[in-house]
Amino acid sequence: MIALLAFFAALFPVSVFPQKVGKPANTGPKPSGPKIGKAGPKPQPVEPSAATPKTIVVKPTEGYLALSTTPAARIVLSTAGQKRSFLADAEGQLHVPKLKPGSYQIEIKHDDCQPHAELLKIVKGEPTVLIKPLIEKYGIVMLGLGALTGPDVAIKLDGQPMPPAQLKVEKEMIGIRRVPVGAHRIEISKPGYINWSRDLFEVKPGDVPDNLIPIDLERATIAVTIRSLPGARVYVDNEERGVVAADQMLRVPGLPPGAHKLRLELFGYENAERPLTLTLDRREMTEEVKLESLIEIAEDKEDFDASLVKWFPARPAPWQLENGRGMLVRGDAASLFKRASYPANRFNLYDDFTLVFRVRFATGKGVAWIARARDAQNYYRFELTTSRSAKSAKLFIASLCRDGRCSELSRDPVVVNIEEPDDTITIKLEAKGAQLEHYISAVKDPRTGMQPLGRVVSDDLFKKGGVGLCAVNELEAYVSSFLVIPATKQGR
C-alpha cells in the first residue's frame, strides 16, 4: 500500500488549500479530481499562512471569493451581464477580492474534467468559500505485474496499442494515463507468456485504488507428444523427459518456445537426434520419430585373421592367435563380437539367434562365454567347468551380470565327457525370446549328435544384445570357430 500511495503521489501530487477562511458556500461530498485544494478548519477571518503571508481584510461593503478547485481550471463569474474570467493556480486556488455582494453564476471548466456551474451568493464583509473540485473524465489504471514489469510488456486499450508516452513504468507497476472513465477492455502481452485480457473493467475517475489490477502472467509453454517405439527414452536439451509407453506415445509438457534438441535412445536402435523449433502458434504438437534398428540380420563369424579387429571394446592383449589351434582366450577381460567394419564403439546386436563355436581346453579347466550383452558389464554369462577347475566338478553354470557384478542363476551337472585331453568340444546356444537353451557335443564322447547342456535359462531382463567370450575363473580355451546365425537369417 505504501508503494501504491507513492505511485499515486508521483503521478499527481496533492496540494492543500493554504487559506483559513470563513464559512464555505457549498460543501457537498468530495468527488475525485486530479489535484484539489482543501478547506481549512472552521470558518474564521482570513489569516496569514505560508501561502498568504499578509492578512486579507474584507471591507464591510465588499465581498470576497475563496475557491478551491482543480489546478489550472478556468473560472467565469457572471452577474448582471458582466463576465470575469480567472485561472486557478497550480494548487487549484483562486482568491477574488473586492467583489460586489450579490448573486453570481460561476462556471468551472477543465479539459480533463466535467464542467460545473452553479449560482453563488457573495455576502458582504466576509469571505465566501467554495470547495468544488471537478470530477475527472479520466482515470489512471495501474497494472501490478510484479517482477514481470518491463519495457517488453505491450498493452492495448480497447484494441488500440498504448503509446509509451501514455505509460509510466515504475517499480513493479505500469500506469496508463488518461483512460476515459467507464468500461474498457485491457490486453497485455509479454514475450514468453500467455496473453492476458480483462473485459469491461470499470475505470474510476482519478488515481484511486479501484483502478489497480493485480496481474499474474502465466508462462507460455508448448506440449510435444512424441510418437515412437515403446521403451524409447526421450531427452529434450539433454534432459531426460520420460519413456515412450506401450501405446507408442509420450507427452512432454512445459517446453518454452524456441529452439530445442530432441534425442531418443533405445537399446538395439540408432540414437535419433533432431532439432525442434517450438512456437506459440501450436501449443500442442506431435512429433513422430522413427528409429533405425541395429539388430543384425546376417550371419557373421570369427575368421581368426590377426588383421581383422572383430572384438569389442578390443581383442584383449592376452588373447593370442595360434596357427592350427585358433585363438587362445585367457585373462579376466570380457570381449564382445563385432564386425571388422564397424566403428570402435559398436558391437553386433542380436534378437533371436543361434551361436555355434568349437573349443579345446587350454589348461583342461573349461571355457566361458557371454550372451545378450548390453555392454561389457551387463550380460548373461555361462561357464563349462571340469574337475580340474576351481569348481572341482563338471558343471554348467549360468549367471546374470549387472554392472560388472554376477549372480548365479543355476548350475547343473554335465553328462557329456568333456575331460578327454585335447578333445574338441562344440557348444550351441539357441536364443529365442527369454529362453536361452544350450547343447553340447565332444568328439571323443561316444554319444552321437548334440546333447542338452544344463537347464533352459528363462530370464527376460536382457531381451537382445551381443555375444562374446571371457576367461573367468581361469577357464582358458582355444576357440577354433565362432559363428552367429540370426533367426531372421535362419528363416529364409
Question: How does pLDDT run across 370-403, given as a tens digit for each residue?
Answer: 999 999 999 999 999 999 999 999 999 999 999 9
If asked whether residues 341 and 478 sit together in one domain, one would say yes
Using one digit for the tens of pLDDT, what is the confidence trace for 47-103? 333 344 446 688 999 999 999 999 999 999 999 889 999 999 999 999 999 999 999
Same domain for 249 and 148, yes or no, is no
Task: Give me the CATH number covering residue 244.
Answer: 2.60.40.1120
339 and 483 in a single domain? The answer is: yes
- When pLDDT is cut at 50, 70 and 90, the band that residue 412 belongs to is very high
- Structural domain including 56 reads 2-131
What average pLDDT does the segment 222-239 reach?
97
Do 464 and 321 fall into the same domain? yes
Helix (H) / strand (E) containing 338 = none
Residue 253 shares a structural domain with residue 192:
no
The whole-angstrom separation of Cα 306 and Cα 311 is 12
- Answer yes or no: is 118 within a domain: yes
- Give the Cα separation of 461 and 16 in Å (integer): 85
Is 172 domain-assigned?
A: yes
97 inside domain: yes
| CATH number (domain holding residue 339) | 2.60.120.560
Clarify whether residues 329 and 442 are in a common domain: yes
Sheet hosting strand 233-236, strand order edge to edge: 239-243, 233-236, 258-265, 272-278
Look at the chain and report how many structural domains it folds into. Answer: 4
Do residues 242 and 235 make contact, with C-beta atoms less than 8 angstroms apart?
Answer: no
Please give the grid coordinates belonging to residue 428.
Answer: 550351441
* Mean pLDDT, residues 465-476: 94
At 490 the pLDDT is 56
Is 21 contained in some domain?
A: yes
> Average per-residue pLDDT in the chain?
87
Which residue among 131, 161, 196 closes a domain? Answer: 131
Which CATH number is 108's domain given? Answer: 2.60.40.10
Residue 294 located in a structural domain: no
Average pLDDT of span 234-260: 96
pLDDT of res. 23: 43
Q: What is the DSSP string of 39-68?
A: --SS-------SS--S-----TT-EEEEEE
Q: Mean pLDDT, to the nearest integer, of 206-212? A: 92
Same structural domain, 253 and 367? no
Among candidate residues 288, 315, 333, the one where a domain is terminated: 288
Q: Residue 293: inside a domain, yes or no?
A: no
Q: Indicate whether 242 pLDDT > 50.
A: yes
| Same domain, yes or no: 124 and 146 | no
- Does residue 165 sit in the same domain as residue 314? no
Tell me if 373 sits within 8 A of 379, measured CB to CB: yes
Q: What is the pLDDT of residue 81?
A: 83
pLDDT beyond 90 at 358: yes
Say if residue 46's pLDDT is above 80.
no
Q: Give the best-scoring range by mean pLDDT among 49-58, 404-413, 442-451.
A: 404-413
Phi–psi pair at 352, nearest 5 degrees = -85, 140
pLDDT for the residue 73: 96
